[in-house]
Structure 1
Amino acid sequence: MLHPRRSAQEVLLCDLCETVPLQSHCEVCNINLCVNCVGKHISDSSKDHNVLPYLRRNAPNYSKCPTHPDKHCDLHCEKCEIPICSTCALFGKHKGHDVSDIQEKLSAKTKSLQKDLEELETRIYPRYEEMAHDVQTEKAELETKYGKLTTGTDQQGEILHREITAIVNQRKSAIAEMKNKHLSTLNKNTEEITQKMAELKQIMSDLKSILKSNDLSLTSTYKSRNSEFRTLPPKVRVTVPSLSAQKMNKDQLNQMFGSLSPLSINTEDGDTMKSAEAVSSPPVKPLLDEPCLTATIDTGYKYLYGISCLSEDQVWTRGENKTMKLLNLQSELLTSIKTKSGKEPRDIAMTRDGDLVYTDPGRRTLNLVKNKKIQTVITLQGWRPLYVCSTASDDLLVTMISDDDKQYKVVRYSGSTEKQSIQFDDQGRPLYASGRYTSKYISENKNLDICVADYRASAVVVVNQSGKLRFRYTVHPSNTKLSFSPVGITTDNQSHILTADFNNDRIHILDQDGQFLRYIHCDLLGPWGLCVDIRDNLFVAECGTAKVKKIQYL
C-alpha cells in the first residue's frame, strides 16, 4: 500500500526517513529503505534482515504470518487456499498440505485478474452502457409517445363532441318543426272557431232587430240555425312531444369513448453473456460436405405435418387427423394418442421430462400428455395457440394468432403462468406477418435466441431471450426456383438454425447469427416439420409422401 502522502504518480519514499526516494526493500520486515537508512536498519541485530534492491513493479507485498509475526507468508497452501509462512508449512497446522510459491500463485492470479479486467472493460461494461443508453432513449421518447396518446384522447373527445352537437342540432330542428306544425294546427282551429263566432254574432244581431221591429213579415220568414251551431267545431288536441333521454352510466360512456390498453411492465431475466472462451470456442462438429440419408419411416398418414424426437430411434408424428403416433425407425407403431377434442392437433413438442404437448386451436388449448392421460394446461381468451416448443429452462414457447386473424405473437409459459409476450420490435412494428392460416413454427436455440419460421413473411425471424430483434433471414430470389417458404424449424447443439424450405424441397442451415452455411437436399420432397435428436441427427417430415427421413449432416 502506498504511503498516505504519496500518489501513484509520485516518487516512492523511504518508509523510515520519508524524505529520500527508496532504493532497497527488507523482505523480513517488509519495509522500503533509502540508501542512507539501510545501515541504520540492519544495525538491529535482533533479526536476520534480508535487504534486496527494490523492484517497483515486481516486488510482492508479503503479508505477515498471524501465527509467526516475524515471518512473511511466502508460500500458498493449496488445500486451505490461503497464504502461509514456511514455519506453518513445515511445523504448523499446514504440515503435510500441498504448497506452492506465493509469487507463482500471485503471477497466475494476476493474469486471471487482468483477464477479468479486460472482459469487464471490453465486453461486459459496454453492454451495461448500451442498456443504460437504451433506457435513456426510451425515457426521452416518453413525452412524444404519451403526447400522442393525449392528442389522440383530445381528438376522440372532439369527435364525440361533434357527434353530440350534430345530434343536439338534429333534435332542435325536429322540435322547431313540430312546434310550427302544432302552432299551424291551433291557428287553423282558431280561425274556424272565430268564423263560427262571427256568424253567431250576426244571427244574434239579426234576431234582436226582428224582435225589436215587431214586423210580422220578418218574423214569419225567420228560419232557426241553432241546431247547426249546437254541434261545436272539432276540438283539436295536440300532445307536446317529450324527450326520452336514455340514462347513460360511466361504463357505457367509457366504452363509447374507447379504452386504454393497460400499462404492461414486465421484468425479464437479463441475457447471460457468454464468457470470452465460450464465444471464441470453435464448433465441436463440422458440417458434412454431403449429408446422407440413414433411415426412412412410413407414418401411414395421408399428409404429414409435424414431428418431435423422443430419442434417436423414436419420433412422435402428427398428420391430417386427430391421432398422434409414436413410431420407431422400422415404421412400427409404438403408441398412439387421440386429441381430447377429436380435432387435428396444430403442433406437437416434447418436454424435458419426455412428455408430449400439443396445441388445439379450435378449443384454444395447450395440452400435456402424461402417462397417456391428457391434461389441459392453458386455455386462451381472444387468441388461438398454433405452434409450440420446449425450452432449456423447461418453459413452453407458443406462437398464437388473435381471433380476428390480424395479430401474431410469441408467449412464454412456465406451467400455466404467462412469463413473457413477444409481438413488436423497438419501433412498435409487428415482428411477425399477419394473415389467416399462416404457419409460425418455433424453436429455441442453444444461445437462448427464439427462432420463428414466418411462412407468410418468407423469413426466419430471430429475437434474443428478452424479445429484442436480432435478425431476419430471407433468401435472394436468384437463389430459389420458387419463393422461400420456411415451414418447420429446429436448432442443434452447435447453435445452427435449420428451416424447411417447402417450395424448393430443401433445408437451409444457418449459423446462430443468421449467416447461410449450406443446403440439405437428400432428394427431399415437400419437407415440412423438423426436429433434431440429442446426437444432432435431423428428422424431416415430408408432407405429401407422409414419410420421415433421418439425415446425418454433421
Structure 2
Amino acid sequence: MHPRRSAQDVLLCDLCETIPLQSHCELCQINLCVNCVGKHLSDSSQKHNVVPFLHKSTTPIYPKCPKHAAKHCEIYCENCDIPVCITCVTSDEHRGHKISDVLEKLKSKKDDLKNDLEELKSRIFPRYEEMSSDVETEKAELETNYGKLSTAADQQGEILHREITAIVNKRKSDIAEMKNKHLAALNKNKDEITNKITELRQIIQDLKKILGSNDVSLTFTFKSRNSEFRSLPPKVRVSLPSFSPPKMNKGQLNEMFGSLSSLSLTKEHGDTMKSPEAVSSAQSVRPLLDEPRFSASIDTGHTGLRNVSCLSEDEVWTRGNNEIIKLLNLQGKLLTSIRTKSGNTPRDISVTRDGDLVYTDYENKTVNIVKNQQIRTVITLQGWRPLNVCSTSFDDLLVTMISDDETQSKVVRYSGSTEKQSIQFDDRGRPFYSSARYISENKNLDICVSDYKAKSIVVVNQSGKLRFRYTGHPSNTKESFNPVGITTDSQSHILTADYYNDRIHILDQDGQFLRYIQNYDLWRPCGLCVDIRNNLFVANVDNKVKKIQYL
C-alpha cells in the first residue's frame, strides 16, 4: 500500500502523489488529479488523450511496427529483445529466433519495474536524502570546527608570546646585572684613584711646608714616595657585552609556530548499494575468516563481569558488579585499578581517543573521566540516568540514558560537558528506543544501539535519522534474539552479543546479516570491544574475557 493511502487504498495522482486521481492519459499511461490535468496538457509537444479514469481503455496499446506501418507489434523476440509484428517474425531477420507473447513479456517487465520502483522508494531515495542531510549537517558544523582551528592558532600565539616575553625579560635581567657589575668595578677603581689623589695632595702640601721652613730636621726626615706614585694604579678595562640575535627567516618562525595541513577536497567514490538480489549472495564477505580463531582467555577476577573496553591490543579495562574497574593484560595480570568516585558500581566503561577511561554512574546520575588516576565528573544529569557510553571519532561522548520514571529512553551526544545532540524521536514524533542500552559509533558515523526491551539493534545516521532496525536472523535458536553488547570495526561491520543464544551476530553497515561467531566457550556474552587490529574481546558471565580473531 502506498505510504500516504488510507485503509481503503485510495489511488493517488502519479504526478503530485498527494491528491486522489480522477483522470487518465491514454498516450502517456499515467493517472492524474484535477489539479495536474492542466499542467499535463500544457505540454504541446505531444497529442495527449486525457479521459476520466473509470473510462480508461483496458485494451493493450501495441506499438506500431517501424518496418511495417500497417502492423502492430504483438509478439516479442527474445533473441533481439524487442517487440515485433507477425510479418517481422516470418522474415529472414528473425528466422529461428525464440519468440513469446508480448503481453507475457510486458507483465514480466512491469514486475521488474515494480521492483525497481520499490527499491528506489524504500532504499535508494532515502539514502540520497540521508546524504543530503549529512552535507547540511557538515555545513552547519563548519563554524564550530574552523572556530576550533582559529582558537588553537590564538592559543599557540599566546604560548609563543609568553615564551618570548619570558626570554626577553631574562635577557634584560642579565643585561641589568652586567651593568651593575660594570658600575661597581668602575666605582671601586674610582675610589682607589681618589685615595691616591688625597695622599698626593697631602704630600704636595708637606713638601711646600718643608721647602718654606728653616727646620733642618724636617728636610732630612722626609722620605720621597715619587717612585711609588710613578706606578699608576691599575685601570679597569671592561669589554662590553653584545647581543647577537641569530639570523631567522619567516620559514623558521612559521615552523616554530606550527603547521596547518592543507584543505583536501576530494570526491570519494560513492558506495554502491547492493541490489536485493545481491544481498542474499553477499552472506560470505571476504574479509571474514571462514572459521574465527580463539587466541586468548583472560581471567579477570571479577564477579558478574559485564563490560570490556580496549586500551590497546594488549590491555583491556574491565568492570564487574562492584566499584572496582581493572586494567588487565592478556595474561590477566592486574596493571592498575580504579575505585569509582562515589563507591557505586559503574554501569558502563569506555576509552577515549586519548586513552582516558570513561565510566557512567547510574546511581548518582554522572558520567566521569579518569585521567592520570584522577577522576573528574564531566556530566551530571537531572531527571535522567546514564546507562552506557562510547567515545566517538571526534572525541565526543555518546550516552544512552533512561528517564527517572523509566518510561523514556534516548541517546545524547556531548562535547565535554556540553550537550550537542539528542536522539529520541523520529520525524513523526515516535520514539526510536524502548530501552536503549549498549552503544557504538560505526566507521561511517552511524550510531548503533542495542534496544533491550524491543530486542533489536537500532541504527541511525549521525543526523539522528533512522537507517534500519535489526531484529535477529531467522535460524534455529534456543531463545529469541536478545542483543546486549555492541561494537564496530574498521570495515564498518556491526557486532552484537546475543546473550541467551551464546553467540555474536556480525552485520554489514546496512544491517545485512553476514555470519555468527559461536562456540569458543562463549557463555552469556555481554560487553564487546574491538582493538585497532580488529580483534574481538568478549566479556563472558563466567568472568573471563575471550579474545577472538574473525577477520
TM-score normalised by structure 1 residue count: 0.50
- Indicate the residue corresponding to 2:514 in structure 1: 517
After superposing on structure 2, the runs of 4+ consecutive aligned residues of structure 1 that deviate more than 3 Å are: 123-132, 265-270, 273-276, 280-285, 476-479
2:464 aligned with 1:463, yes or no? no
Deviations 1:353-399 (A, max 9, x none): 00000000111100000000100001011111110000011000000
- Indicate the residue corresponding to 1:287 in structure 2: 288
- Indicate the residue corresponding to 1:536 in structure 2: 534
- Indicate the residue corresponding to 1:432 in structure 2: 433
- Indicate the residue corresponding to 1:277 in structure 2: 269
Paired letter, 2:539: A
- Structure 1 SS opposite 2:527: strand
- Indicate the residue corresponding to 1:253 in structure 2: none
Cα distance between partner residues in 2 of 1:274 and 1:443: 28
8 Å Cα contact 1:269-1:466 kept in structure 2: no
- Structure 1 SS opposite 2:271: helix
- Indicate the residue corresponding to 1:392 in structure 2: 393
- Indicate the residue corresponding to 1:493 in structure 2: 490
- Structure 2 SS opposite 1:277: coil
8 Å Cα contact 2:473-2:513 kept in structure 1: no
- Indicate the residue corresponding to 1:339 in structure 2: 340
- Structure 1 SS opposite 2:307: strand
8 Å Cα contact 2:299-2:544 kept in structure 1: yes
- Indicate the residue corresponding to 2:368 in structure 1: 367
- Indicate the residue corresponding to 2:323 in structure 1: 322
Paired letter, 2:484: V
Cα distance between partner residues in 1 of 2:126 and 2:410: 32
Indicate how the Cα distance of structure 1 residues 125 and 307 shifts in structure 2: closer, same or farther if over 3 A, else same: closer
- Indicate the residue corresponding to 2:303 in structure 1: 302
Indicate how the Cα distance of structure 1 residues 284 and 503 shifts in structure 2: closer, same or farther if over 3 A, else same: closer
Deviations 1:109-152 (A, max 9, x none): xxxxxxxxxxxxxx9999479969xx9xxxxxxxxxxxxxxxxx
Shift of 1:426: 1.7
Cα distance between partner residues in 2 of 1:460 and 1:274: 33
- Indicate the residue corresponding to 2:174 in structure 1: none
Query: Pairwise CA RMSD of aligned residues?
Result: 3.0
- Structure 2 SS opposite 1:304: coil
Paired letter, 2:499: F
8 Å Cα contact 1:364-1:379 kept in structure 2: yes
- Indicate the residue corresponding to 2:54 in structure 1: none
2:545 aligned with 1:553, yes or no? no
- Structure 2 SS opposite 1:503: helix
Paired letter, 2:397: L
Cα distance between partner residues in 1 of 2:543 and 2:128: 47
Indicate how the Cα distance of structure 1 residues 517 and 382 shifts in structure 2: closer, same or farther if over 3 A, else same: same
Cα distance between partner residues in 2 of 1:397 and 1:501: 22
8 Å Cα contact 2:285-2:514 kept in structure 1: no
Cα distance between partner residues in 2 of 1:430 and 1:441: 17
- Indicate the residue corresponding to 2:209 in structure 1: none
Cα distance between partner residues in 2 of 1:478 and 1:124: 31
Indicate how the Cα distance of structure 1 residues 266 and 537 shifts in structure 2: closer, same or farther if over 3 A, else same: closer
Shift of 1:304: 0.4
Paired letter, 1:528: C
Query: Highest Rg: 1 or 2?
Result: 1
Shift of 1:425: 1.3
Paired letter, 2:380: T
Cα distance between partner residues in 1 of 2:501 and 2:379: 36
- Taking the TM superposition and a 5 Å limit, the aligned residue runs for 1:3-82 are none
Paired letter, 1:279: D
For structure 1, the 5+ residue unaligned runs are: 1-122, 136-264
Cα distance between partner residues in 2 of 1:376 and 1:358: 10
Shift of 1:475: 1.8
Paired letter, 2:271: V
Paired letter, 2:404: D
Cα distance between partner residues in 2 of 1:526 and 1:129: 36
Indicate how the Cα distance of structure 1 residues 274 and 532 shifts in structure 2: closer, same or farther if over 3 A, else same: farther
Indicate how the Cα distance of structure 1 residues 475 and 414 shifts in structure 2: closer, same or farther if over 3 A, else same: same
Shift of 1:276: 4.9
Shift of 1:523: 2.9
Shift of 1:480: 2.4
- Indicate the residue corresponding to 2:313 in structure 1: 312
Deviations 1:288-344 (A, max 9, x none): 010010000000111100010000010000000000000000000000000000010
Shift of 1:455: 1.7
Shift of 1:279: 2.3
- Taking the TM superposition and a 5 Å limit, the aligned residue runs for 1:143-182 are none
For structure 2, the 5+ residue unaligned runs are: 1-123, 143-264, 274-281
Cα distance between partner residues in 2 of 1:125 and 1:431: 17
Cα distance between partner residues in 2 of 1:375 and 1:432: 29
- Structure 2 SS opposite 1:386: strand
- Indicate the residue corresponding to 2:354 in structure 1: 353
- Structure 1 SS opposite 2:287: coil
Cα distance between partner residues in 2 of 1:507 and 1:304: 17
2:464 aligned with 1:474, yes or no? no
Indicate how the Cα distance of structure 1 residues 298 and 279 shifts in structure 2: closer, same or farther if over 3 A, else same: same
Paired letter, 1:402: S
Shift of 1:277: 2.3
8 Å Cα contact 1:499-1:507 kept in structure 2: yes
Q: 2:450 aligns with which of 453, 459, 480?
A: 453
- Indicate the residue corresponding to 1:508 in structure 2: 505
Deviations 1:243-268 (A, max 9, x none): xxxxxxxxxxxxxxxxxxxxxx9996
8 Å Cα contact 2:494-2:506 kept in structure 1: yes
Paired letter, 1:296: S
TM-score normalised by structure 2 residue count: 0.50
Paired letter, 1:468: K
8 Å Cα contact 1:268-1:466 kept in structure 2: no
Shift of 1:418: 0.3
- Structure 1 SS opposite 2:269: helix
Paired letter, 1:492: D
Deviations 1:81-126 (A, max 9, x none): xxxxxxxxxxxxxxxxxxxxxxxxxxxxxxxxxxxxxxxxxx9999
Deviations 1:17-41 (A, max 9, x none): xxxxxxxxxxxxxxxxxxxxxxxxx
Cα distance between partner residues in 1 of 2:415 and 2:268: 31
- Indicate the residue corresponding to 2:440 in structure 1: 443
8 Å Cα contact 1:268-1:420 kept in structure 2: no
Indicate how the Cα distance of structure 1 residues 328 and 363 shifts in structure 2: closer, same or farther if over 3 A, else same: same
Cα distance between partner residues in 2 of 1:492 and 1:336: 27
8 Å Cα contact 1:285-1:494 kept in structure 2: no
